[in-house]
Structure 1
Amino acid sequence: MSITNQKKSQKRMRGIPIHYDELKKKHTVMLTDTAWEKLRASAKRNGVSVGELMERWARSQID
């Protein structure tokens, strides 16, 4: 069971972070259609959104 599935049982409340110690904010990223489709496919295989996939990737890059 993934971390996302384990935490889904928590009640979500606006303004209170669940997965991380901070709230997410809206950002814009420009990608080619090819890159976007690859991200979507990978996110679908992992059962997460593209935004969550990118979040996990970025956090994994931090030493």
Structure 2
Amino acid sequence: MLYYRSKAGDTVDRIVWLHYGRQNDRIVETVLEANPRLADYGPELPDGIRIALPEIPDEQDTASVRLWG
């Protein structure tokens, strides 16, 4: 697991975008789950918060479902 040290004004969304390059697949929620009480700081984080960034698998190809032949 990697860690990130917040800078004043950072948001979890921005940190996720910078680190993972995407925000889909519930990545923001996964980061919040890995960091209990992080959401207590509100939308903008203060300087110096240590944030765990869990490993997230690369985007998975989603299989298409064909409803009609």
- Under TM normalisation by the shorter chain, which class is it? under 0.3
Whose Rg is larger?
A: 2
TM-score (norm 2): 0.24
Larger fraction in strand:
2
Higher relative CO (CA 8 A, sep ≥ 6), structure 1 or 2?
A: 2
Larger fraction in helix:
1
